[in-house]
Structure 1
Amino acid sequence: MTPELRLLKPVEWSSWHRTLARAFATSESEGIDTWRSVTEFDRALCAWDGTDLVGTSNSYSLRTTVPGGASVPTGGLSMVSVAPTHRRRGLLRDMLRWQLDDTRRRGEPLASLTASEPGIYGRFGYGPATHWLTVSVDTGRVRVAVPPEASDLRLRLVDPLEALAECEAVYARALPTRPGRLERSEEWARLQLHDPPGERAGGTELQCVLAERDGRTVGYARYSVQGHWVHSNAEGRVRLRELEADDAATGAALWHHLAGIDLTSEVTADKRPPDDPIAHLVSDMRRARLRLRDSLFVRPVELGPALAARTYQLPLDTVLEVTDDFCPWNTGRWRLSGDATGAVCERTEDAAELSLSVVELGAAYLGGTSLRSLADAGRVRELRAGALDPVSVAFGSSRAPFLPHGF
């Protein structure tokens, strides 16, 4: 029998979450109430084989910052699982078909996801658009520089929940400054404080430090500390979860604070922007051990509105020949004209200058992956000599796109 796809009912939440937890080998109890608070039941899908729940998927109504600072409606795909007894039956394809059609019906030009298995989602049109920088700073051997402009800052330890509103105000001010960021509702803000004991790896509960200037909060860092002793020597670890700052001096002061916490010799973080200044703040870059991994995958759902929603670093007027097997309404030739003030993208019969699939457009959309690098990999074809490089530069971003947290 073909499993029946239908929307999740609130009374089915526990079974749905249990099925998902089994697929990801996590505890079904940890986070159940927190994640329920952000679940949109009119976008949560379940697959039933008789009385057995064998598949899950969900989309969140997100808004993503794009180059130029606009906040674009986005269907954030998440919570995707298929029971091991029902693999290779097209169930995943059917669920993604439903989710993308629903995203289109809602008028959201973009879809996005973070992938547990990145190899799956290219065939559905998602391209890797942002990366996370993993950092491990040997604070026993390096110094973290602090500029003189930080001398008037006051750092203060606070309860993370009590300081939530102050931290979210800093986050909101940073929202338009970097592509890839997500708007946060009150529920999504609270989700960032999710701190189940089973996920602390022996560390402390979540801590928060505020940076204040003239009584106003201008930055914060959330972190935990893992105590560790080797032959009577303290070698603890600071695990940074989130750091936001209004200005460079405040950011440097917060990194300096983390590097100087007593009884620790390392600061780690696994979700930082690729151009995080920590690489230039430490006295020895090799002791920072920097590594990139994929983060946000982006897919244009309505190609014209998606490309028109962002701005471009250089003036451009080009024709793109696009293929999209999964959302065929995007297939065809599109004239894209724009600059740093805005853009227009419409269908055309004019000769194309570049040929690519929607996957490459998704990867390049936020400015973190260059069309030139994709062309060098054989993924973008230049149909008119000299057309590629100006368009590649125009698609770029002065700041690396960054997804601050998963969803």
Structure 2
Amino acid sequence: MGTDRGTELRTLRPEEFDRWWDHLVRAFGGGPASPEERELDKSLTEFDRSFAVWDAGAVVGTSGAFSFRMTVPGGAVVPTAGVTMVSVAATHRRRGMLTSMMRRLLDDARAQGEPLAALFASEPAIYGRFGYGTATLQLNAEIDTGRVTLALPEGTDEVRVRYAPPADVLNECEAVYAALVPRRPGMLARQPGWERAGLLDPESDRDGASALQCVVAERDGEVTGYARFRTKLGWGPGGHDGTVTLEDLAGLDPATEAALWRFLFGIDLMTTLSVRGRPVDEAWQHQVSDIRRCRLRLRDAAHLRLVDVGAALSARTYVAPVDVVLDVEDPFCPWNAGRWRLTGDAKGASCERTADAPDLSLSVRELGAAYLGGVSLLSLAAAGRVREVRPGASAEASVAFGSPVAPWLPHGF
């Protein structure tokens, strides 16, 4: 497939991976990349869904997709294209290469019957024009564990926490993760091989911290949760000043989660717990004694696009009965454009073409933002991004599209 000015866009061949990956590393700043990371990325790459743009034998653009399945409101797990590895050489800007790659990826997702596409954006401003909306946020925190205490729920003391080599308990940890997938919109059913990503631990990436450590939580001999983390000892004028960096934490019940957080707060010689990429509604925020000393920050996480509006809106359920006609704009994927009648409730939904008068007018980008229940259509209407045609339709649809738990995509790709 040709692109502008003599470049060629085509499917990546396995023997071309190293050149493709080296270009990608340079495009993302040229920092050191470990052999372990390269090997893992190669093993996970779906070559029939990965693309390179070539110019005179050199790679000047990269992109790809993973075949994921994402939980949506109501618990269904929906095929989703995980768009990834997108880069354009600095020498080849403004030639239409990114648009050509986005076109190919979405056409392929549609052909494979994937109603959704998701990505993490290095630069959020790029992807709105291709129909992606910010659908999940992530919570970061720097918790002063020397001054902040936890008020723990009943049953926490019944949970035992023990150290274990991360690889030795991988299967038990994956079973916990799998049990949690249907509970929260945005989570991905782990494909074979992806469990290795949680164990990636090259020494070059530790920045002086320890090797990856792991504890598992148990009740009655059964693993009910786990935490993976690193520690970095530091000393200041007042004595020890170490940092715990949380990599991953999961628990099947509130007491298990609380036991794991208590453990992290209490590691000897550590005074800061650094938390990245957590759900915005985690319970520990309501258990801490001083939320200000947790230094909370939010940032965008998963960006979502509806590849097939009818199939995507039919795949999820709605917390309140909904009957709304949506007038959808989608210039990049015109098969989505037009009017759709969405009817549904907590038991199921359907979304079909209609000629009826619209209640709301919006672009596919706004649908992507609101789809998982973390962004309110009413808020988008207040921002001028959703136009209310029938009075009251924004509020009605906002309630229906909501989710009782915040959507969260727990790991990058």
Q: Deviations for 1:338-391, whole angstroms, at most 9, x for unmatched residues?
A: 000110000000000000000000000000000011001000010011111011
2:32 aligned to which of 2, 27, 33: 27
Distance 1:290 1:182 in 2: 25
**Aligned pair 1:392/2:398, yes or no?**
yes
Corresponding residue for residue 382 of structure 2: 376
Q: Out of 17, 21, 24, which is 2:21 matched to?
A: 17
SS at match of 2:332: coil
Instruction: Report the 3-state secondary structure (helix = DSSP H, G, I; strand = E; otherwise coil) of the residue aligned with 1:42.
Output: helix
What letter corresponds to residue 22 of structure 1 in structure 2? R
User: C-alpha displacement at 1:79, in angstroms?
Assistant: 0.4
The share of aligned pairs that are identical, in percent, is: 56
Instruction: State the SS of the aligned residue for 2:48.
Output: coil
1:319 alignment partner, SS class = strand
TM, length-normalised to structure 2: 0.97
Q: Which amino acid aligns with 1:115?
A: A
Matches within 5 A, 1:81-120: 81-120=87-126
Q: Which residue of 2 aligns with 1:197?
A: 203
> Is the 2:34–2:202 Cα contact (8 Å) retained in structure 1?
no
Matched letter for residue 32 of structure 2: S
**Which amino acid in the other structure matches residue 210 of structure 1?**
V
Alpha-carbon contact 1:320-1:353 (below 8 Å) kept: yes
SS at match of 2:199: coil
Q: Distance in 1 between matches of 2:154 and 2:129?
A: 51
Q: Which of 8, 13, 23 matches 2:12?
A: 8
Could you tell me which runs of 5 or more consecutive residues in structure 1 were left unpaired when the two chains were aligned: none
- Give the superposition deviation at 1:146: 2.2
- SS of 1:388's equivalent in the other structure is helix
Question: Is the CA contact (8 Å cut-off) linking 1:17 and 1:28 kept in structure 2?
Answer: no
- Secondary structure of the 2:119 match is strand
**What is the DSSP-based 3-state SS (H/G/I as helix, E as strand, rest coil) of the residue aligned with 1:148?**
coil
1:174 and 1:62 map into 2 onto residues whose CA distance is 16
The whole-number CA distance in structure 1 between the counterparts of 2:166 and 2:10 is 38
1:193 Cα offset (Å):
1.1
Task: Give the structure 1 partner of residue 291 of structure 2.
Answer: 285
Q: What does 1:308-347 correspond to in 2, within 5 Å?
A: 308-347=314-353
C-alpha separation in 2, matches of 1:2 and 1:371: 43
Which range moved further: 183-192 or 15-24? 183-192
- Distance in 2 separating the partners of 1:111 and 1:134: 25
State the 1:28 CA deviation. Answer: 4.1
Deviations 1:155-185 (A, max 9, x none): 1100111110000000011001100000112
Which amino acid letter does the alignment assign opposite residue 288 of structure 1? Answer: C
Verify: 1:267 aligned to 2:273, yes or no: yes
Q: Mapping of 1:359-370 within 5 angstroms?
A: 359-370=365-376
Superimposed CA distance per residue, residues 3-35 of structure 1 (whole angstroms, 9 cap, x where no aligned partner) = 101111111111111000001123244410011
Q: Residue 142 of structure 1 aligns to a residue in which SS?
A: coil
- Indicate which of 276, 286, 292 corresponds to 2:282: 276
- CA deviation after TM superposition for structure 1 residue 151, in Å: 1.6
Do residues 302 (structure 1) and 308 (structure 2) align? yes
SS of match in other structure, 1:108: coil
Gap runs ≥5 in structure 2: none
Q: Which moved more, 1:205-214 or 1:195-204?
A: 195-204
Distance (Å, rounded) in 2 between the aligned partners of 1:256 and 1:3:
56
C-alpha distance in structure 1 between counterparts of 2:199 and 2:167, whole Å? 7
CA distance in 1, matches of 2:258, 2:33: 39
Q: Distance in 1 between matches of 2:236 and 2:210?
A: 19
Letter in 1 for 2:400: A
- With normalisation by structure 1, the TM-score equals 0.99
Q: Which structure 2 residues correspond to residues 156-195 of structure 1 after superposition, within 5 A?
A: 156-195=162-201
What one-letter code is carried by the residue in structure 2 that aligns with 1:169?
Answer: A
Conserved? CA contact 1:371–1:388, under 8 Å: yes
Give the counterpart letter for 2:25 in structure 1: A
Counterpart of 2:213 in structure 1 is: 207
Q: C-alpha distance in 1, partners of 2:178/2:265?
A: 26
3-state SS in 1 of match to 2:9: strand
Aligned partners of 1:22 and 1:28 also within 8 Å: no
Q: How many residues end up aligned between the 2 structures?
A: 407
| CA distance in 2 between partners of 1:149 and 1:28 (Å) | 43
Runs of 4+ aligned residues of structure 1 deviating over 3 Å after TM superposition are: none
Paired residue secondary structure (1:64): strand
